[in-house]
Chain A
Amino acid sequence: MSRAAGDRLGEAWARSARMVGRRIGDEYVLVPLAGRGADLDSILNLNRVAAFVWEQLDGARSGTQVVASVVERFEVERARAEQDYLELVGTFVELGAVEPARRRG
């Protein structure tokens, strides 16, 4: 794992207030709340793992802790879970869906 990736796993991320996640029936969707309200074109569907990760991003848990929860919940290998987590958080950061919280050691 690169140093940058390791750093990112040490960080905690918080869901942005400008993004709303909702479970509706079988789906889990993220809806960005832009200045003019929600935008149908920007709605995102999350799979089960991504939805689980999204709900863990409370600004307190570090990436390492979230990955540990994913490994425990979905019985996947740690390396795979870390990779998925980092990709997902990268996407969330690009979308402005999460904001950095405090750094953890």
Chain B
Amino acid sequence: MVPSKARGFVRELAVRGSLPALPPGLAEEAVLAAAREQGVAALLLAALERERPAWAVAIFPPLAAERRALLVRTLGQIGLAARSLELVGSRGIRALPLKGAVLAETVCDVEADRPMSDVDVLALERFPEAVAVLREAGFAEVARGDHAWAFRDPQGHGIVELHRSVVSAPGLFPLDREGLWDRRREGRGQLRVLPSAEDLLVQLALHAAFQHGLVLSLAQWLDFRLVLEREPLDQARLLALATAARARAPLAAALAVAQAVTGASVPPALLEGLPRAMARRLEPRLGAPLDFVAPAEPDLARVRFDLLAGRRVELVWRTLVLPETPEGDERLSARVRFALGRARRLARHEAEAKRRAEPNAEQVHDLGEPQAPAVDGVEVPFGEELLRDCLAAFPHVRLSVTGRCMEPALAHGEKVRLVSASRRRPRVGDVVLARQEQGLRLHRLVFGPPLAPPGVRWRTKADRGLLLDPPLAAEDVLASVVSLESRPGSRPRRTLRALASLAQGIVARIRGGARLSAEAAS
């Protein structure tokens, strides 16, 4: 678990570019964990190499090793984006890389400075054909959303997201496909083509504001500062592009937050265009920049409503009416029919969920098979950033369980469906995806809502474990399991089981304490 003091420390480092004084009581391991969590391990290492503080001796070697591994990983990911672009380009389909891969090859000193959970490619035309090209090349679909489909690289473990639009609800922020292509730049690394710097900034802003509700990792907020500092931005062109994409509000909101979080210097003209209600709500919050840094929970619906002031009917329409039906029918009549059916199903499921959570099969997003052989206690083989992205973007996420500590409730290899904690509040008895010290775990929530008073930390425990996990903050619980694929009728939530497990954990703790006391006395 990363203490907020450690997040504050690495944020301060990002703002100043040099190491702040280590606050009393803050362990160097916590700083390391915070830097990793926020994707700024390379930034921390660079500062340590310059300043060589005595307190950092122990974390220096793991950080150096991590930087090499990150370099290798990121180069591989950029290679995956380049290969995907080449594949779709070979069929005459124009496509551009988006976000992280572009940033790693343009504004970062070294690719390792910009860790990524996946890479993104925007197909500017013939999306279904681009999907077919990747499938033919052996890419396996692992997730599907209205704006992007995610595929696993057949030659490795990387994930590429093939986008039809930059963010969800395609059409809400119109894509100037011809303009994007005409403004493209030549890449000097593995990526042969890059979006213009102005397009890149608009895309980053849409992603931050609309897709993630203005909550990102520190590394992602730093992207804005790097682009502003290192790219030769044409301000007039940027504003014209943002206006054409109906993205002035997302641009202003994202830049205002980037300024607060990273100390980026933002030209005042770029901060104009916020709807009044949003400005009123946002400005007082800018004084607490960590509220915009993951794992803070975004108020996604509120942010989207604020950003789309005056266009809320369109927001609802474009959220419900997808660009095509699951069968690939793009006709408006078919899409509307599907949307109505979907709304009906969602309403029915919403009612049912109170009694028994049952997800909508068409909206499940599969994160695939475990990538590593089962290792005890290693239950979630995917990076938190990828999971968080998927949970934010998709109604349900499918995940394969590894490990046996939750048997018989969850078997090794079994597929479960998760719903993010922001969509469905976890309750005692749920199996939850929680951020533990050792990484993400699927364990049972044994103390939490409705038993835990607000502000009191929650507790989880493996069904087959003896001891309770360390206490958790509510924001460390990312999602709940709502169903098991192989056992459709089964109910993952077990309230009595959770209470018995809590009692067992307390007894084990008391016995452990008594034994220790006896040993100390002898």
Q: List residues of A whose CB falls within 8 A of some B CB.
A: 20, 22-27, 29, 31, 33, 35-40, 43
Contact = CB atoms under 8 A, between A and B. Distances in A.
Given A37-B79, A40-B69, 14 more contacts: A22-B71, A22-B111, A24-B67, A25-B45, A31-B71, A36-B76, A37-B75, A37-B153, A37-B158, A38-B71, A38-B76, A40-B68, A40-B72, A43-B71
B79 A33 contact: yes
A53 to B, nearest CB: 20
A27 B75 contact: no
B155 A38 contact: no
A22 to B, nearest CB: 5
B32 interface: no
Contact of A38 (B72, B110, B153): B72
A39 B72 CA distance: 6
A68 B110 CA distance: 29
A20 B74 CA distance: 12
Give chain A's interface secondary structure class: strand
B68 A33 contact: no
Given A22-B111, A24-B112, A25-B45, A38 B73 contact: yes
A23 B158 CA distance: 24
19 contacts: A20-B75, A22-B111, A22-B112, A23-B110, A24-B68, A25-B46, A25-B67, A29-B68, A33-B79, A36-B156, A37-B75, A37-B76, A37-B77, A37-B156, A38-B71, A40-B68, A40-B69, A40-B72, A43-B72
A24 B153 CA distance: 27
A43 B68 CA distance: 8
B49 interface: yes
B64 interface: yes
Contacts of A20: 75
Interface residues of B, number: 24
Contacts of A29: 68, 71
B190 interface: yes
A33 B69 contact: no
Contacts of A40: 68-69, 72-73
B194 interface: no
B63 to A, nearest CB: 9
Nearest to A17: B190
A22 B71 CA distance: 9
B110 A33 contact: no
B80 interface: yes
B40 to A, nearest CB: 14
Nearest to B112: A24
